[in-house]
Amino acid sequence: MVAPSTVAALLAQGAPEHQALVVPGRLSFSYARLRELTDEAAHSLVAYGIGAGDRVAMVLPNSAAAIVFFIAASTVATACPLNPAYKEEEFRFYLEDVGARFLLVPPGEGEAARRAMPAGGIVIEASLDAEGRANVNGASPRIQGDSLKPSAAGDIGLVLHTSGTTSRPKRVPLLHENLTASVANIIATYELTPDDASLCVMPLFHVHGLVASALATFGSGGTVIAPDHFSPLGFWPLMQTAKPTWFTASPTPHQLVLARLQDDRPAGTERLRFVRSCSSALSPALMALMEQRYGVPVLEAYGMTEASHQMSSNPLPPASRFAGSVGPGTGVEIAVVDEAGAALPTGTSGEVVIRGPNVTRGYEDNPQANAAAFVKGWFRTGDVGTLDRAGYLRLIGRIKELINRGGEKIAPREIDEVLESHPAVKEAVAFGVPHPTWGEEVAAAVVLVAPATEKELLAYSRERLADFKVPKRLHIVESIPRTPTGKVQRRFVAEQLAP
């Protein structure tokens, strides 16, 4: 079979009568029906004047509809999924930044996005009805005739933004061939087959949920389980109903669902082969608890928007997996370099750089960012890490988040892990605060699961860290701010808590 070169072509990998997409308790689509459905949705979008080069903003909740209309929009134009939780001003920025001429929203919903749509833009209500048919409804006159021209491998299928945790969000165009290359890498890493079923719990407006949970499963001919509404509270009933073979999430959802589980191998885990974690650092303690509870390997991976998601991952057994490592490159070349872009020796820390067919060609309309992002043909991730002799990557932190205390560069993640190893600490985040002598000093915030004092936790840290790395101030907080994909917002924490 010819390897798929577009998002829509991924659906050709599934046997016609095999289950492709399931909404638990409501709908089930075979591959034959899903192909028909996405084709019908694509033709409906074309009837509203959508075509090659158009940017189609999508403000749809996590659902089967979000998956169907993403495939349809990327087939005829460029899909631009947005977080439905944005406020009107946020929508206005993103809609204007991508140049969206069309906006897909659920019937009667998405008021903030509708108000933010630039003048002349067309709002289309998009949904799947109770029978699983695609419905679209808008104010624009329909175009007569069939003018659908499907996208090619070199066309932009998806536009997303960087998380913006350290700078203004940058626009990332991903070609169909970038996305399908990433899908192939994920399928190979986890040996996905038509027998696999993925439970989709991550947001579909980011690459983690969209590419890993959904598209990679379609590319393997397996089954995507997409609940209408997901919450950690309903996770275990959903597991018992769906019985997936794997699922992927960031550490925060993993923590939340594990907090409601006291037994090992509960009902719903019978078919699990592995559990995947990505989008933020997974603590060794949480990994060990997950493996005990689920009874399967927990595989931490490393991904980013600019790489169409996955860059590396710990492999399935019998290969080795290591807590604190994000594994070797998965069809992606990885190196560690100095500031000039020269490769560093094994075990030496430096900036992580990548290259491969999944990597974006560059940010849109941002020559300054592109000049900074590429060195000698490699994409600079902005992460600091080390590679061991076996090619396993360990991440130390973001370059922009390193704490510079009198010339000593301190990786905040190292401090996080020490604090999180204390039995009373659920989460920890270290950050730098201004200091008149040292330039920066170390501070940290922790979320507790049992009583503990600042003095006790600092003493615990002092036993395990060099003196210059020990936080000089520790804040006990109720929660730690994160992005929708679970990334810690260190700068925001610092701004909130710094004196």
Q: What is the pLDDT of residues 67-98, one digit of tens each?
A: 999 999 999 999 999 999 999 998 999 999 99
Do the Cβ atoms of 480 and 429 come closer than 8 Å? yes
Q: Which residues contact 436 (CB under 8 A, 6 or more apart)?
A: none
Q: What is the pLDDT of residue 486?
A: 65
d(CA 340, CA 232): 45
Reduced to 3 states, what is the DSSP secondary structure of residue 77? coil
Q: Is 393 exposed, middle or buried (0-12, 13-18, 19+ CB in 10 A)?
A: buried
Residue 144 is predicted with a pLDDT of: 57
354 close to 307: Cβ distance less than 8 angstroms: yes
Cα–Cα distances (Å) from 437 to 408, 433, 440, 441, 472, in that order, read 13, 12, 8, 9, 14
Name the class of domain 24-151. Answer: alpha beta
Domain boundaries, given as residue ranges, for the chain: 24-151, 180-398, 402-497
Which segments in the chain show pLDDT lower than 70? 1-2, 139-146, 163-167, 483-486, 498-499
Q: What angle do CA 14, 16, 21 make, to 5 degrees?
A: 65
Write down the pLDDT at residue 156: 98
Using CA atoms, how far apart are residues 165 and 223, in angstroms rounded to an integer? 34
Tokens 């020990």 sit on residue: 470
Residues in Cβ contact with 388 at an 8 Å cutoff, skipping those fewer than 6 apart: 346, 347, 394
Matching fold, domains 24-151 and 180-398 = yes
Residue 142, pLDDT score: 63
Which of 9, 68, 31, 62 lies closest to 208 in space, CA to CA? 62
> How far, in whole angstroms, is CA 391 from its chain's centroid?
23
Q: Does domain 180-398 have CATH number 3.40.50.12780?
A: yes
Which pLDDT score, from 0 to 100, does residue 166 have?
47
CATH superfamily of 402-497: ANL, C-terminal domain (3.30.300.30)
